[in-house]
Amino acid sequence: MSDAAAQTTNMAASVSTPQPFGPALGRFQAQAGAILAQPAIRRSLPMVLGTLALALVAIIYIMTRTPEMRTLFANLPEADKAAVVEALQAANFDPAVDSLTGSVQVPAGDYHKARMMLAGQGLPHSAPEGYELLNDMPLGASRALEQARLKQSQESELARSVAEIASVESARVHLALPEQSVFVRDRTSPTASVFLKLAPGRVLGEAQVRSIVNLVASSVPGLPADRVSVVDQSGTLLTPDSADDEFGESRKRLGFQTKMEDSYRQRLVSLLTPLLGAENFSAEVHLDLDFTESQQTSEAFDKENAVIRSEQGTLQASDGPGAPPRGVPGALSNIAPPPATVQPPQAAAAQPAAAQPAPGEEEAAPAVPSAGPRNESYTRNYEIGKQVSVTRAPMGQVKRVSAAIVLRENGKGMKPKDIQAIEKLVQSTLGFDAARGDVVTVTARPFTDTTPPEQPWYEIDVQENTWIPDVAKIGAALAVFALVFFMVLRPFMKKAMEVPAHTPRIPGALGQPILLNPGDDQAMEAIRQKLRPRGGLPPELLTTTNSYDDKVAVVRMFVAEDTARASNVVRQLLRSEAPQGASNE
């Protein structure tokens, strides 16, 4: 029996692998092999490895995935930006600075925590704006300091209001407020300048510029709108000076002409779109406008209904040298005569009838006309009605209309009757007048394909398409998972689930039923023995034992587990020793 144990020991030693790291590592390997050799472990091992592979892929995806960033502060000064980034890094945050806008960003999940942390440290150290400057006014400040703070607060408030416009990224306002004087001749009007930084790709319209000018002019007392200047970041004056602008009137006229042409073109589009379709015609309109400014004033007088307004006349008469004396002698002759009265010709003509005596009265003696020279002069002023008429011709009158319409020819060709019908419709829409030389041309031509060619996939801009890096990361994670599955997990599962070739075939293992007679306990016990899993003890146990008794115990365990194999080993030993014993005899 000792020889069998030694032979078994030699066979196990020959099968076992060398242990370069000592018996401790060997024992660990033996224990791990024994644990993995258990049937429950072998059945659950593929599921465990699959779960570990999925966890590994998830960890790789999370590590390679860039978190969503959210803007923490925008438009910070460089000093405040450096202080904010340093504080975030010290608090174990992961801040980033946007390469385009320069704003400080943090992961979206840490946004509120970062704001609270920075607020606790008093960051950023930005200067107060607007009327907040007046809150920390020192006690006993001079009048000059108060005026400067008030001016700075007004500028800040106006800048914040202007910056709220959609196309404006930031704004600065400068006010020039002169000191008020009690003398009217010494007073000067204030001025203002507005500097705008527009957002990328944005342009301010004329109406928006006027709104900014009116906003600033209405916020400062005594500031006229023409004393406000607006400049953008490229140095372009958005409010041209009317005194030095040579082309200001030309720009206005050109803008008015463009609006008029767009109005006429929109009429044609509204007319032809339901008939032909939006892509089946092209229309252009040109207008010749008369911008000549003329004014005519006329006055008309009503001569028939003239009324005398005032009249003034003189009458001079003197007696001749041979005239007899007249008058009443006495004191009355020394009295000055009464003032003379002037009678108009109508009154003089009516005087004889009125001067006749009444019945019973004596007729007065006729007056003796003077024999001397006589001079009369009259000045009469008449009130005559007057009518004043002022006629001003409007600017921008249409002198001529020229329209061209091109219809899409689809290969069949359009009939001349249809083209003429469309031409009449266009003339009616535009208010065609042949007397002023209007021209309307309608023709049919094939259109060329203006669709831009598709961009090749290898010319796609990765910076504009931000979804490409995310898709690439997901694809890389899937590739890693596929590599782990096909290179590690699948071969191991295949090897673990395959049936050994020397495993004995069990009756009924392929679906054939096993028929047993009642009371056949020996057959049932045999089937149980055959169905019992055979994990087997690892041969490494023989090498891990130190004493002879331990080795004998391990050999006994081998024999108890696999009796058939042990009997085969003993039989082979007897056969190998039989020739030697015969030769010795």
Residues 230 and 98 in one domain: no
Cα distance between residue 465 and residue 458, in whole Å: 13
Domain total in the chain: 3
SS3 content of the chain, % helix, strand, coil (to 5): 45, 20, 35
Residues 85 and 213 in one domain: no
Residues 211 and 266 in one domain: no
Is position 4 within any domain? Answer: no
Q: Where are the beta strands (DSSP E) in 281-340?
A: 281-290, 294-317
Region label for 75, one of left (φ > 0), alpha (ψ between -120 and 50) or beta (otherwise): left
Is position 430 within any domain? Answer: yes
What is the domain range of residue 276?
258-294+397-445
Considering 385, 414, 445, which residue would you say is the last residue of a domain?
Answer: 445
Handedness of CA 148, 152, 155, 158 (dihedral sign): negative
Residues 287 and 410 in one domain: yes
Residues 203 and 266 in one domain: no
Other C-beta atoms closer than 10 Å to the C-beta of 24 total 10
Is position 417 within any domain? Answer: yes
Cα distance between residue 566 and residue 8, in whole Å: 8
Is position 347 within any domain? Answer: no
Residues contacting 378, CB < 8 A, separation 6+: 311, 312, 313, 314, 344
Is position 1 within any domain? Answer: no
Is position 359 within any domain? Answer: no
Residue type at 553 in one-letter notation = A
Q: In which element (H, E) is residue 107 found?
A: strand 104-107
Q: Measured between alpha carbons, how far is residue 370 from residues 224, 321, 350, 373, 426 in Å?
A: 79, 11, 21, 8, 93
Total-model pTM:
0.41
Residue bearing tokens 């607020």: 119
Residues 159 and 221 in one domain: yes
Residues 227 and 90 in one domain: no
Cα distance between residue 178 and residue 187, in whole Å: 8
Per-residue pLDDT of the chain (585 residues; tens, 9 = 90+): 444 444 444 444 444 444 444 566 667 777 777 777 777 777 777 777 778 877 877 777 776 666 778 888 877 878 888 888 999 999 989 888 888 788 888 888 888 899 888 888 878 766 555 566 566 666 777 878 788 888 888 888 899 899 889 889 889 999 998 887 777 677 788 999 999 999 888 888 888 999 999 999 999 988 999 899 999 999 888 887 655 556 667 878 888 899 999 999 999 999 999 988 888 899 999 999 888 888 888 888 777 777 777 888 777 766 555 556 665 666 666 666 666 665 655 555 455 444 455 444 444 444 445 555 677 787 888 777 778 888 887 778 889 999 999 998 876 667 888 899 999 999 999 999 999 899 999 998 888 877 777 767 666 666 666 677 777 878 887 888 788 777 777 777 676 655 454 444 444 444 444 444 544 455 555 555 554 545 556 666 666 666 677 777 777 777 777 777 778 878 887 887 665 544 444
Residues 209 and 117 in one domain: no
Collapse the DSSP code of 312 into the 3-class scheme (helix H, G, I; strand E, B; otherwise coil) and give the result: strand
Is position 412 within any domain? Answer: yes
Is position 463 within any domain? Answer: no
Residues 205 and 78 in one domain: no
* CATH number of the domain where residue 194 is located: 3.30.300.30
- Nearest Cα neighbor of 262 from 284, 289, 290 is 284
Q: Do residues 227 and 192 make contact, with C-beta atoms less than 8 angstroms apart?
A: yes
Residues 115 and 207 in one domain: no
Residues 157 and 235 in one domain: yes
Residues 160 and 238 in one domain: yes
